Amino acid sequence: MIVSIDKSAGFCWGVVRAIDFAENELQSVSKVYCLGDIIHNTTEVKRLNELGLETVSVNDFPNLERGSKILIRAHGEPPETYAKARQFGLEIIDATCPIVTRVQERVRKFVDQDYQVVIYGKKDHAEVIGINGVTGYTAIVVKNVEDALEKVDFKKPTVLFTQTTMDKRDFKELAEALKQRCEELVVGSIEETAVQFHAKDTICGQVSGRERKLQQFASENDIIVFTAGRKSSNGKVLHDIAKAANQRTYFAETIDEIDWSWFEGVEKVGISGATSTPHWVMQQFKEVIENKFNSLVTA
């Protein structure tokens, strides 16, 4: 059996940067508080927790010692989080992904011009909450075309943004549907960072750029074991892309979730993951699978 890891899988640079911030801080202090899990991956959260990174929420601020360090993860936060941290004398380590910061800045410009802001994304996702916070929670968050057609006022000048990790095709479909109905529709983008972004939306190239490579990787293997945190948005998107290219794609957040019946008659196994899946986790999956089948051969 050949087990290989998808070369295009692993942390996006926004997440690598946030983890670097945490590890650097933990070299000089024994405790750093992170607002929400630094990454949607329980194994990596546990590793950082052992180094001194503790997950907290804004509600915990009153109980933290003044001067404590609060890390804002790559998803970003709404403006009131910064104000509340100042109120309780906490020091902010801002690891918001620069791409997310740029989206927030662009949204703010449209709010100042009285546009109706529509965000395509998940209303409870931290990145969407942060972006919506910039609008004073006046944005319309939509999950699909039907939802948008019900909630959007077509007569108002409208700008459509998207959570950075949504599916590109679904976003295009939504933009088309609104274009046909809105008197004025702008599709929000941040061309200034075109290296990471496709010019006409705010879907991160770290996610959409992987689609073609993942499809190819999925079709080259007999089965795909896809590992990511269950809370990871791009994990869900990327898993579905792999599944569409290879029906024998299986999801496992941790090694214990591997079902050995998946491997019946299989010669080539591909391991892939989300932008929040550490490379060392995929390596562990590879080793466990290889050991299982090697031991069967030698037994």
Segment interacting with ligand SF4, rule: CB under 6 A, options 39-47, 187-195, 199-207, 248-256: 199-207
Question: Of 6-14, 42-50, 150-158, 208-216, which segment contacts ligand SF4 by CB under 6 A?
Answer: 6-14
Q: State in angstroms the smallest separation of the CB of 44 from ligand SF4.
A: 14
Query: Minimum Å distance from CB 184 to ligand SF4?
Result: 27
165 belongs to the binding site for ligand SF4 (CB under 6 A): yes
- Interface residue with ligand SF4 among 206, 208, 232, 277 (CB under 6 A) is 206
Q: Which residue's CB is nearer to ligand SF4, number 189 or number 275?
A: 275
Stretch that binds ligand SF4, among 8-16, 178-186, 277-285, 286-294 (CB under 6 A): 8-16
- The question of whether 184 is a catalytic residue gets the answer no
| Alpha-carbon distances of 20 from 17, 49, 244, 274, rounded to whole Å | 5, 14, 34, 19
CB of 266 to ligand SF4, least distance (A): 31
Per-residue x/- mask for ligand SF4, residues 94 to 123, rule CB under 6 A? ---x-xx-----------------------
Q: Which residue is nearest to ligand SF4 (CB)?
A: 14
Interacting residue with ligand SF4 among 53, 141, 207, 238 (CB under 6 A): 207
Among 44, 127, 211, 253, the one annotated catalytic: 127
Q: Tell which one of 22, 38, 48, 204 touches ligand SF4 (CB under 6 A).
A: 204
Binding interface with ligand SF4 (CB under 6 A): 12-15, 74, 97, 99-100, 164-165, 204, 206-207, 275
